[in-house]
Amino acid sequence: AFRRLEAQGLAIGEPRRGVRVASFDLGEVKEVAEMRAALEVLALRHAAPHLTSAILDLAEEATKAGDKSRDVRSWEEANRAFHRLILAPCGMPRLLATIDDLHAASARFLFAAWRSEWETRTDQDHRAILAALRQGNTESAAVTLGRHVQWIGRKPVRTASGTTREAFAIVG
């Protein structure tokens, strides 16, 4: 388990000291986002011909579940389900395993960055991706997905002491 965490960049093994949680910086967050964008777009292009209305309906339900989430963990779970549903039909298990590893890293960044009260959100990108896929417009869905996964921004976060600090935010 520790070796897998190390391979994912989530842990660092130190000789005669054990394993510790890996730290990260904004550069690593951007790297993971760019890798996810490239690989998820690749998977979507291969999955699109195999997507059924039933799969797209399940992805829409995952988006609705994310919209109704009361906390960051349930939102992340719904978000991951959406992405997995639209990508799984690509039939490329190694690609999907790599994307899953990158999602785990993204989730780690998200959980580490999240410090304030949860804000309910509506995911317009997911809806735009679904609309494009339902219309058979794979290119539009791929462009939207690539942009969506790479969005990393800054937002003000209120600390427990009442001060405000800048933190990075991840959406996709």
List pLDDT tens digits, range 137-152.
Answer: 999 999 999 999 887 6
Q: Is residue 125 part of a domain?
A: yes
User: How many structural domains compose the chain?
Assistant: 1
**pTM for the full model?**
0.77
Please report whether residue 138 resides in a domain: yes
Q: Specify if 6 maps to a domain.
A: no
- Better-predicted residue by pLDDT, 123 or 148: 148
Specify if 78 maps to a domain: yes
- The residues, any chain, with a CB within 8 Å of residue 76's CB and separated by 6 or more, are 107, 110, 111
* Domain membership of residue 142 as a residue range: 25-170
Query: Which CATH number characterizes residue 42's domain?
Result: 1.20.120.530
The model's pLDDT over 95-105, given as tens digits with 9 standing for 90+, comes to: 999 999 998 88
Domain presence at residue 9: no
Q: Does residue 1 belong to any structural domain of this protein?
A: no
16 belongs to a structural domain: no
